[in-house]
Each structure stands twice: as C-alpha cells, then as structure tokens.
C-alpha cells in the first residue's frame, strides 16, 4: 500500500522531449529486482560489477564504465578527466555542452569551450582546424579535446566513416575525442550498426552514454574507450557530485537496457515514430518540415498563431524564435495513435480561422 496519489493524466502525450516519457516496464522490473536486501554502496555492488562486462561486449575489452546521475554530469566529468586546467574543448556552436548545460563545463570543470559554427551540427576536420591552433602559445587555451554529439542537437547523424575521420584528424594533431551520446542508441538503430561501430571502432576516446532518453528512470554513464585518455576519473566523479551511493539502481537499469536488445527496440520505435510524424505533417498545407529526419527528431516551421494554439494541446518547444522553427521529439513509448492524433490536431489548427 502507498499513500501516494497519481497527479497526472497518463493519457496526455507530448512531443517536447524523449525525457518526458516514463520508464520502460522492463527497467522498472529490474529496479524492483535489485531492491531486496542490502548491497554495498558507492558502486561496490554486484550489479555495477556485472555492468563492466556488459559494456565490454558492446564496446570492446578496453571499455570501462562509470555510472553517473545525468547527462550534464557525464559530460562534465568526462571532459574534466580528459583535460588539464590550461586546455580547451572544441565543439559545435550548437553542442549541448555549450548551449544547454547552464555553463556547467565552464563553471564546474573550469573548461574553455572553443565553438565552431556548423550548418548541420556536425564537425569535420576542416571545421576543427578553425579552432585547433595556437599550440604552445601561453596566451591561448590549448586545444585538447574535440567533442562531438551523436545524434546532434539538430537531429543529424554522423556516419562511422565521418567520426573516424574526425578521430584520425584530432589524434594526428595531438587531441582526444569525446562523444556526447545522449541519443547514442537512436543513432545506432538509425545507422543499422553496432554501438561500437562509430565509437570504439572509429577511434572515440571517451563516450557519454545516455540512458534516460532510452527508457531509464535516471542515470547516464561515462564510458572510457581509451584508458590513456583520462586521469583521476574516480575522484572527479565524486567531486562533481556524480557518485551515487545506491549505484545498484543505476547499474541494474543499464543491465536491463543493454544485456539484451531492449535498447534497440526502444530506439527503433522512437525513430520510426519520428518518420511517421514527418510523413503525416508534410501533407498539411502551411507546414514545412525543415530538416531531414535521421533519428527521432522532427523540425518544422508553422504559422506562429498555430504554434501557440497547438502548444495548448501538446507540449513541444520552439527551436528558433527568429524563424518560428519548432522541434518535435518521439520516444520509446510513442505510438502510431499518438502521432496520428497529433497530426490531426495540427491539421485542425491550421484550418481554424481563429
């Protein structure tokens, strides 16, 4: 029995973020499985121990996994472990570490971010070189890490070949590569390749692995693919307030997600629903789908008054206030009916004279 009461209508759906979704039932079941009795705290539990082998199966024998609470924490801990105080991180201007982490890389990790404008959210060797200079100049923060995002904030995908090219170029200039993988499972599902194909096999040194958007309750992970790329990660995770005392409840979620194919099923569904949504709204006069749908994000421009009215019925975000571009995200639990109801509501608001 519980005194808690449900304070929301579970029938209400939204397209603002895959973070709005609940927890996959199989993951809830795994949490309950790990809940009985006592286990050693701070990661010295049997679930976290087992997690090491699970990640090695996906990323190779050199992989080390360090569970953390959230994506910002994963990025900050990873980048801090990869850099000295005088070093800097090159990233896209649209990168989450630059635009959506409240200055945490700068304030918490003391990092200098060297940003590059991109049209599609992706870095190339040529774009990296716009900031990869000044080596040995004490007046400039020293470029040390290239941070890329898969999938990008603009919903685009790097191919394994493109990431390999970034890694080869960065390594050739004495730099390391970090991959922000908040939606890494969506990327692997969309590309039809194993998780290691565009990470360990492509030369990525450290990965921030996203679990929450993939169906977990909470928890992300720093995955070290090149042990020589980091220093002091054990201590940095604690000082960054990312060491969970009851870590078994993070680790068992990752086990449920990655031991079988739950991660792939969830990602495939989210991606498929985004394609369905894009196809449905393209047929509506007055709606312009602005970007190719590569994973589980749909970008579109609507009349401003339609956006305002539709948002009263469904939650979603305006991506670009200047152009009126909006972003719709689908999740592991988005259904065909959810998409069809949303598309019908959009068509209705487009036709409305008010």
Distance from the Cα of residue 14 to its chain's centroid: 19
User: Where residue 155 sits, what CATH number does that domain have?
Assistant: 3.40.640.10
Tell me the helix, strand and coil percentages in the chain, rounded to 5.
40, 15, 45
Same domain (yes/no): 135, 221: yes
Kindly state whether residue 269 falls inside one of the protein's structural domains. Answer: yes
Cα 66 to Cα 207: distance, rounded to the nearest angstrom: 10
Same domain (yes/no): 254, 273: no
Same domain (yes/no): 115, 132: yes
Same domain (yes/no): 161, 250: yes
Same domain (yes/no): 277, 241: no
pLDDT at position 1, please? 58
Kindly state whether residue 28 falls inside one of the protein's structural domains. Answer: no
pLDDT at position 12, please? 87
User: Where residue 311 sits, what CATH number does that domain have?
Assistant: 3.90.1150.10
Instruction: Decide if 149 contacts 176 (C-beta within 8 A).
Output: no
Pairing mode of beta strands 87-92, 112-116: parallel
Containing structural domain, residue 130: 34-258
Same domain (yes/no): 199, 128: yes
Sheet with strand 317-320: strands edge to edge: 288-289, 297-301, 325-329, 317-320
Kindly state whether residue 21 falls inside one of the protein's structural domains. Answer: no
Kindly state whether residue 130 falls inside one of the protein's structural domains. Answer: yes
Same domain (yes/no): 234, 315: no
Same domain (yes/no): 220, 110: yes
Q: How many CA atoms lie within 13 A of 261 on its CB side?
A: 6
Cα 211 to Cα 77: distance, rounded to the nearest angstrom: 16
Kindly state whether residue 224 falls inside one of the protein's structural domains. Answer: yes
Specify the number of domains making up the chain: 2
Cα 89 to Cα 83: distance, rounded to the nearest angstrom: 8
Kindly state whether residue 114 falls inside one of the protein's structural domains. Answer: yes
Residues of the chain with pLDDT under 70: 1, 354
Neighbours of 77 (CB within 10 A): 28
Same domain (yes/no): 46, 74: yes
Q: Is the backbone peptide bond immediately before 151 cis, with ω within 30 degrees of 0? A: yes
Last residue of one domain, picked from the residues 195, 224, 258: 258
Report which of 262, 342, 331, 267 is spatially closest to residue 20, judged by C-alpha positions.
331
pLDDT at position 246, please? 98
Same domain (yes/no): 177, 280: no
Kindly state whether residue 132 falls inside one of the protein's structural domains. Answer: yes
Same domain (yes/no): 309, 177: no
Q: Is the four-CA dihedral 36, 38, 43, 45 of positive or negative sign?
A: negative
* Full-model pTM: 0.96
């Amino acid at each position: 029995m519980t005194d808690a009461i449900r304070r929301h209508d579970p029938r209400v759906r939204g397209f603002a973020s895959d973070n709005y979704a609940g927890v996959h039932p199989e993951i809830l079941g795994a949490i309950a499985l790990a809940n009985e009795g006592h286990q050693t705290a701070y990661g010295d539990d049997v679930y976290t121990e087992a997690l090491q082998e699970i990640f090695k199966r996906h990323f190779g024998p050199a992989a080390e996994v360090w569970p953390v609470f959230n994506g910002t924490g994963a990025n900050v801990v990873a980048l801090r472990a990869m850099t000295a105080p005088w070093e800097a991180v090159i990233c896209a201007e649209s990168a989450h570490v630059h635009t959506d982490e409240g200055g945490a890389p700068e304030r918490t990790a003391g990092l200098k971010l060297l940003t590059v404008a991109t049209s599609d959210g992706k870095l190339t060797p040529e774009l990296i070189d716009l900031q990869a200079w000044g080596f040995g100049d004490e007046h400039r923060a020293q470029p040390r890490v290239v941070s890329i995002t898969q999938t990008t904030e603009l919903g685009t995908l790097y191919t394994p070949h493109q990431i390999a090219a970034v890694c080869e170029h960065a390594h050739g200039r004495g730099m390391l590569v970090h991959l922000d993988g908040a939606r890494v499972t969506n990327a692997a599902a969309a590309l039809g390749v194993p998780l290691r194909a565009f990470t360990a096999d492509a030369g990525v040194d450290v990965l921030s692995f996203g679990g929450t958007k993939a169906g977990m309750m909470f928890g992300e992970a720093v995955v070290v693919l090149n042990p020589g790329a980091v220093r002091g990660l054990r201590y940095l995770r604690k000082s960054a307030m990312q060491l969970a005392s009851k870590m078994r409840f993070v680790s068992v979620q990752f086990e449920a997600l990655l031991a079988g194919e739950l991660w792939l099923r969830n990602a495939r569904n989210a991606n498929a629903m985004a394609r369905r949504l894009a196809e449905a709204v393209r047929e509506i006069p007055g709606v312009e789908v602005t970007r190719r749908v590569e994973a589980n994000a749909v970008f579109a421009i609507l009349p401003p008054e339609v956006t305002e009215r539709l948002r009263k019925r469904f939650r979603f975000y305006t991506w670009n206030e200047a152009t009126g571009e909006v972003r719709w995200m689908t999740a592991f639990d988005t259904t065909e009916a959810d998409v069809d109801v949303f598309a019908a509501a959009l068509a209705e608001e487009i036709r409305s004279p008010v």
